[in-house]
Amino acid sequence: MKNNLLENFIVYLFNSKTIFYLILIVATLIVIPNIDRESLWLDEIFSATASLKTSSLDLMFSKYISRDGNPPLYYVLLFYWGKIFGSGDFEIRLLSYVVTLLGLILSYLLIKKHFSRKLAILFLFLSAFTPGVLYYAQEARMYSLLYALSSLASIIFLIFLKRIRGSQKIENMLLIYYFLVGVLICYTHHFGSLIIFLLSFVTIIYSLVLKKNRSAITILVVSIFIGILGMIWLIFQFYFVDMGNHIKQISWDRNNLKNIIFNFSTIFAVNKFGVAALLILLAPILRNFNYFLILVKKYSIILLPVLLLFLTSYLISIMIFTISERYLIVTVPLILLFISFIFNELFDNNKIFVFLYIIGLLILSVFGNYTYKKQNWRDASKYIQNKIYFSPNSKVPIKSLLDGSFDRLMFVSYYFMESKYVYSPDGPKIQDNCDLIYVDGHTNEEEIKRTLVEYNINIPYEILNFNKVFVVIKKRN
């Protein structure tokens, strides 16, 4: 009897016209209270400095973006967003959530129109309650935009496959959407260019295998135009950014693929305990294992671009050491779409278990997004300003990660401590009439101690830890 009541409630919930709004409201209640709970971390400070501490787009490109290597779309959006809504931590991170929200809404509408409402609701549940998706929705970086565009591109990719399989013509408007999303994603992140290339590649191969040559030619032509416009940024980089030196500079550590894969899994479930919990919740849904294998085979093509991207990433990681699990967020929509299709097929006989999986995902998302910690540059900067004695000629000593003057650590002075502080990238130093010896992030306490030994700092000192932002000061009596 209780199961019947719960099943009836789940059916009512999925059929309700308000469920769409309820999902978005719950996601908003998870994100909004957390947007400025933690300090901007180093890369967010770069975004804020490049976009909000410059008076014009020309200056933003010449001083920051031309030397950064990442495509410019997010920075341009943040530049205008800041002009309209302000430049506080809350305001600049809000852009990421607005982009995520638009991505969720447009994804829902596309799936509902071209597949089914139930499938659209399932994908909306999974996408809106995946912890990593909501985490990047409150970070002042391009990954929320990358996720939103990847979702749209992945859904259009599936619509293409459906049209091709059914020998139906691909509508011109759908091709225009794919072109626009493809160009935008190329100007968001280099892994955006990679995923759109792989989606096009799989679609063309699929068309040729089914002998739908006209569809293959159509997708090829659209993809060529995407590539031509995407190449404009690459040409700009070739002339203005020494990418070889840039990659060498930012590759401070070798890729550990085991860690990257584990960290990627936490996008879905916060930590290893969350991963285990979701697997346990998933087990009852897959109890008819033979049928599950049939469904996996049926929808396996959805995961083909994911496998190709992981393979490509592995090959890249052999040559350069700049692969991060963050970049792999372009594959998350495809994985969630795959799960959505499986759940859609199994839903009628597994309503309760599917619902429990979604509730488990929601609980993990609430836990993850209310407990995450970031480098606390905000409090570290306040401490330096309010608690440390500076003489008029003192500098904030850092150890430069990069050669030359382009160092993200230096942007902390522009954003949090303003221009009255001057950064010295020469490493720790003892200054007369100044208590500050060293500031660093992106490291750990043992590395800080090794650096101090390397620079012959032998006076008594204290290391203050602001959640992986380390402030080293002269020891007080």
Average pLDDT rounded to a whole number, residues 194-214: 96
pLDDT at 81: 95
Q: CA–CA separation, 158 vs 115, rounded Å?
A: 10
**Is-contact 137 33, C-beta < 8 A?**
no
**Is-contact 253 321, C-beta < 8 A?**
yes
Average pLDDT rounded to a whole number, residues 374-398: 85
Amino acid code (one letter) for 445: E
pLDDT of 43 higher than 60: yes
Average pLDDT rounded to a whole number, residues 57-79: 85
SS3 at position 423: strand
Average pLDDT rounded to a whole number, residues 446-460: 90
pLDDT of 50 higher than 80: yes
pLDDT at 407: 59
**Is-contact 409 440, C-beta < 8 A?**
yes
Q: CA–CA separation, 327 vs 333, rounded Å?
A: 13
pLDDT of 95 higher than 90: yes
The DSSP element (H or E) to which 404 belongs, if any, is: none
Q: CA–CA separation, 467 vs 445, rounded Å?
A: 11
- Model confidence pLDDT, tens digit, residues 275-302: 899 999 999 998 888 999 999 999 999 9
Query: For the chain, what percent of residues have pLDDT higher than 70?
Result: 90
The secondary structure of 300-340 as a DSSP string is GGGGHHHHHHHHHHHHHHHH-S---TTGGGGGHHHHHHHHH
The secondary structure of 49-94 as a DSSP string is HHHHS-SSHHHHIIIIIHHH-S-SHHHHHHHHHHHHH-SSHHHHHH
**Cα separations (Å) of 471 from 38, 221, 376, 385, 421?**
18, 55, 11, 12, 15
Q: How confident is the model at residue 204 (pLDDT cuts 50, 70, 90)?
A: very high
Q: What is the mean pLDDT of the chain?
A: 88
Q: How confident is the model at residue 265 (pLDDT cuts 50, 70, 90)?
A: confident
Q: CA–CA separation, 176 vs 161, rounded Å?
A: 16
Between 288 and 136, where is the model more confident?
136
- Model confidence pLDDT, tens digit, residues 172-188: 999 999 999 999 999 99
**Is-contact 96 145, C-beta < 8 A?**
yes
**Is-contact 219 204, C-beta < 8 A?**
yes
The DSSP element (H or E) to which 474 belongs, if any, is: strand 470-474
Q: How confident is the model at residue 59 (pLDDT cuts 50, 70, 90)?
A: confident
Q: CA–CA separation, 241 vs 62, rounded Å?
A: 11
- CA pseudo-torsion sign 76, 82, 85, 88: positive
Q: Phi, psi at residue 212, to the nearest 5°?
A: -100, 70
Q: CA–CA separation, 157 vs 403, rounded Å?
A: 42
pLDDT at 6: 85
List all residues 6 or more positions away from 227 whose beta carbon is below 8 Å from its beta carbon: 197
pLDDT at 244: 54
- Model confidence pLDDT, tens digit, residues 293-342: 999 999 999 999 999 998 888 777 776 656 778 899 999 999 999 999 99
Q: CA–CA separation, 327 vs 454, rounded Å?
A: 34
Q: CA–CA separation, 381 vs 417, rounded Å?
A: 6
pLDDT at 320: 64
Q: How confident is the model at residue 2 (pLDDT cuts 50, 70, 90)?
A: low
List all residues 6 or more positions away from 338 whose beta carbon is below 8 Å from its beta carbon: 299, 302, 303
Core vs surface per residue 178-195: b (16+ CB within 10 A) or e? bbebbbbbbbbbbbbbbb
Average pLDDT rounded to a whole number, residues 70-85: 93
Q: CA–CA separation, 400 vs 407, rounded Å?
A: 6
Q: CA–CA separation, 202 vs 350, rounded Å?
A: 32
Q: Which residue has the tokens 């031309």?
A: 66
pLDDT at 243: 55
Q: How confident is the model at residue 240 (pLDDT cuts 50, 70, 90)?
A: low
- Model confidence pLDDT, tens digit, residues 406-440: 456 666 666 777 666 777 777 888 888 888 989 88
Average pLDDT rounded to a whole number, residues 357-365: 95
Q: CA–CA separation, 126 vs 111, rounded Å?
A: 14
Average pLDDT rounded to a whole number, residues 351-366: 94
Q: How confident is the model at residue 404 (pLDDT cuts 50, 70, 90)?
A: very low
pLDDT at 251: 47
The secondary structure of 175-190 as a DSSP string is HHHHHHHHHHHHTT-H
Q: CA–CA separation, 40 vs 36, rounded Å?
A: 8
Structure tokens at 271: 């930590």
